[in-house]
Amino acid sequence: MQNFDLYNPTRILFGQGRVAELGQWVPADARVLILFGGESARKNGTLDEVRAALGQRSVSEFGGIEPNPSYETLMRAVEQIKRENIDFLLAVGGGSVIDGTKFIAAAVHYEGDPMEILFTYAGNVKKAMPFGSVLTLPATGSEMNNGGVVTIKSKGAKLPFRNALLFPQFSVLDPTKTYTLPQRQLANGVVDSFVHVMEQYLTYPAGGHAQDRFAEGLLQTLIEIGPKAVETQEYEARASLMWVATLALNGLIGAGVPQDWATHMIGHELTAKYNIDHARTLAVVLPAMLQVRRAAKHAKLLQYAERVWNITGGDEEARIDAAIAKTRAFFESLELPTHLSAYDIGKDAIDALVEQLKAHGMIALGERQEITPEVSRAVLEAAL
Amino acid sequence: MQNFDLYNPTRILFGQGRVAELGQWVPADARVLILFGGESARKNGTLDEVRAALGQRSVSEFGGIEPNPSYETLMRAVEQIKRENIDFLLAVGGGSVIDGTKFIAAAVHYEGDPMEILFTYAGNVKKAMPFGSVLTLPATGSEMNNGGVVTIKSKGAKLPFRNALLFPQFSVLDPTKTYTLPQRQLANGVVDSFVHVMEQYLTYPAGGHAQDRFAEGLLQTLIEIGPKAVETQEYEARASLMWVATLALNGLIGAGVPQDWATHMIGHELTAKYNIDHARTLAVVLPAMLQVRRAAKHAKLLQYAERVWNITGGDEEARIDAAIAKTRAFFESLELPTHLSAYDIGKDAIDALVEQLKAHGMIALGERQEITPEVSRAVLEAAL
């Protein structure tokens, strides 16, 4: 096992009806800005619930944070916060809104050009506003970690950041808040969570016995409850999806083990260039990544085949083939395509994507930094 | 899934050599009291390492915290803290030292008779001293939770407590610190962790899909690496044991699911009366508890049999029998007896133990509060 630090001070308030309690965790004299995405949070009554829970506090709103939140939009919130002397942020939404809120929390106090935050992965952030979240879309895990991803539209760049000051103080996880989501977003959430786990699990054996079991348990749970969570409003399935999505990226399963994240980095370029949903880029890239990296990931692919998919027959290469096929079929069963052709992206598009990766410094990706732009090219070719 | 809160602000510093960094997490001007148990922490050099990491700070020592730490001993530390104006506590040891330090942290600021803290399960604690820990014995999970158990010798009572103010600020988990432990303590740690997981897992199905998988993963890991961790100094086995013991009782696997803890409560009476090691009481009580409660725990016992022990053949009762037998054999393989007769405790001792349970209010134990003193009697009889 590798040495690691684990620190996660976010307070989780999980379950039906918990929004009503959030006032306990916001200072009584706070001037609050509620941040959200589209108008669904207003239409389905969540904004009203949140306002009621905040009682007599001064409350403003900032709506319109888009999927793949943009620097340009978020900077408008920063201006509003300064103008209105806001001192507490409350994100109401999914990963995009919470990621955006984290960037805003850092940008308000940043000395210098806030775009630098993104170009330095937030490593130079020294102060951030306090914030909480009300999660409405289980997928990214942003509700219980200190990272995010923001797109700079003017540069066509989608950039990750992380800083110890950017944990939500609390997050309300009420599974019934997912009842009004479209199936497409729920399916995206299942795959996003699945790939988050895979990025921290499917590398090479490193003595992380408990971490491996936890990762496998999250994958098994997604396989077990994912389809039901997408197709029905069963509370138990939605609750498990919501909790798994959080556990998939709260630092726990990745502590002490190697991590990959190359699938995400290549996926980000597809989103930046073609505006494909984040999870959908992962569904395309991951199976191709496993195929191209099957030698380097050999031992873990066999473990994954056996423990997650119960594949024990046949020779080793056949078991690996079967595990990759099962992964692809799982994504397809949720109606996420696993080939670039589904998005009319052909071989002629690959040069530009590889150039984007180089331009963003993504030249030595993966758990052993072996994924050069040429390996990324091979992955994209395998994903055609 | 049940509604739950999850909050755990303890910072984990895991891995070889991490003691040297702990000075970063203690205020520079702190007056520190190092608390420890026997003299092994001094003899094996850990106290010197800790003192070196604390640099120029004022440092005192309080040694002699016994296994099953006593109120009487701990109150002497409280006096020393007041006398020396100590403002930061550093526990160096296993669960007993850390549990004791938690009680001390609460007792120093308690208004009234500190014994009340124990009789109210620490529910009335309003203020506590800050403290960290250096873990040397993986077993209890105290290094990453807010609970403890203290024995009042004058009353023959072993009482649990818990309070949100009693999380360690940090805990250093260096697996090499276990190298000097006797095999008996390591074996106790494996079983203690195993039973901690079982108390939060082996109840009834409640939609906790991920929690079940996590619990099963910890049990599987203990079965896989436990014997090696006891018999050898292999770093990977010791590291996994240390991390599993922490994860077994840091709030994670029990969040949102029913919990039992009757085995612990009955075990505490055995320790209080006969001074049997905590883990050894659990090894005796758990198999008997599963046997007596097999109807109430039917569904989970079958799941445990299949997922943890790969028992799929035979009818349901036979599978349950096999799972209980496997559990018993695992404990015995680590040289923890699973019958009271190993401690020369016979049928004639049971009346007094049942009376102790009643005297301590343990009259409706278990995940459904169904374990009356008469059920506890049946469990003790099954453990003979």
Q: In this complex, do B5 and A16 lie within 8 Å of one another by their Cβ atoms?
A: no
- The answer to whether A164 contacts chain B (CB < 8 Å) is no
- The answer to whether B210 contacts chain A (CB < 8 Å) is yes
Query: Chain A partners of B13 at a C-beta cutoff of 8 Å?
Result: 5
Query: Chain B partners of A225 at a C-beta cutoff of 8 Å?
Result: 209
User: How do beta strands B157-162 and B147-152 pair?
Assistant: antiparallel
Interface of B with A in 47-86 (CB under 8 A): none
ipTM summary value: 0.96
| Closest B-chain CA to A255 | B14
Question: Structural domains in chain A?
Answer: 11-177 (3.40.50.1970), 183-382 (1.20.1090.10)
| B10, B208, B224 member nearest A209 (Cβ) | B224
pLDDT at B9 over 90: yes
**Confidence tier at A247 by pLDDT (50, 70, 90):** very high
What is residue B156's predicted lDDT score, i.e. its pLDDT? 78
Q: From CA B181, how far away is CA B189, in angstroms rounded?
A: 11
In contact, A142 and A278? CB cutoff 8 Å: no
pLDDT at B335 over 90: yes
pLDDT (tens digit per residue) in A78-94: 999 999 999 999 999 99
User: For the residues B280-302, what does the mean pLDDT come to?
Assistant: 98
Q: How far is B226 from chain A (nearest CA, A)?
A: 11
User: For the residues A184-201, what does the mean pLDDT come to?
Assistant: 97
How many contacts (CB atoms, under 8 Å) link A and B? Answer: 125
What is residue B68's predicted lDDT score, i.e. its pLDDT? 87
Which helix or strand (DSSP H or E) is residue B148 part of?
strand B147-152
pLDDT at A158 over 90: no
CA end-to-end span of chain A, whole Å? Answer: 36
* Nearest to B196, CA basis, from B238, B251, B151: B251
User: How do beta strands A31-36 and A88-93 pair?
Assistant: parallel
Query: Chain A partners of B8 at a C-beta cutoff of 8 Å?
Result: 8
Q: Write down the pTM of the prediction.
A: 0.97
Q: How far is B14 from chain A (nearest CA, A)?
A: 5
pLDDT (tens digit per residue) in A319-354: 999 999 999 999 999 999 999 999 999 999 999 999
Interface of B with A in 167-196 (CB under 8 A): 175
What is residue B363's predicted lDDT score, i.e. its pLDDT? 96
Q: From CA B168, how far away is CA A198, in angstroms rounded?
A: 32
pLDDT at B230 over 90: yes
Coil/strand/helix, residue B91: strand
- Give the dihedral sign, CA B253/B259/B265/B267: negative
Please report, for residues A51, A117, A148, the alpha-carbon distance to residue A142 in angstroms, rounded to integers and kept in the order given: 22, 18, 7
Q: How far is A81 from chain B (nearest CA, A)?
A: 28
Radius of gyration from C-alpha coordinates of chain A: 20
B123: CB partners within 8 A, 6+ apart: B163
- The answer to whether B247 contacts chain A (CB < 8 Å) is yes
pLDDT (tens digit per residue) in A2-23: 999 999 999 999 999 999 999 9
pLDDT at B265 over 90: yes
B160's tokens? 């649990």
Beta bridge partners of A61: A34
Please report, for residues A52, B118, B158, B260, the alpha-carbon distance to residue B164 in angstroms, rounded to integers and kept in the order given: 27, 15, 21, 21
Look over chain A and give the mean of its residue pLDDT values, rounded to a whole number. Answer: 97
What is residue B2's predicted lDDT score, i.e. its pLDDT? 98
What is residue A359's predicted lDDT score, i.e. its pLDDT? 92
**Confidence tier at A272 by pLDDT (50, 70, 90):** confident
- The answer to whether A213 contacts chain B (CB < 8 Å) is yes
Q: How far is A352 from chain B (nearest CA, A)?
A: 41
pLDDT at A156 over 90: no
What is residue A159's predicted lDDT score, i.e. its pLDDT? 87
| A3, A212, A243 member nearest B15 (Cβ) | A3
Residue in the block written with tokens 């379950």:
A15
pLDDT (tens digit per residue) in B56-114: 999 999 999 998 899 999 999 999 999 999 999 999 999 999 999 999 999 999 999 99
Kindly state the percentage of chain A with pLDDT values over 70: 100
Beta bridge partners of B12: A6, B171
Q: How far is B126 from chain A (nearest CA, A)?
A: 17
User: How do beta strands A131-135 and B88-93 pair?
Assistant: unpaired
Look over chain B and give the mean of its residue pLDDT values, rounded to a whole number. Answer: 97
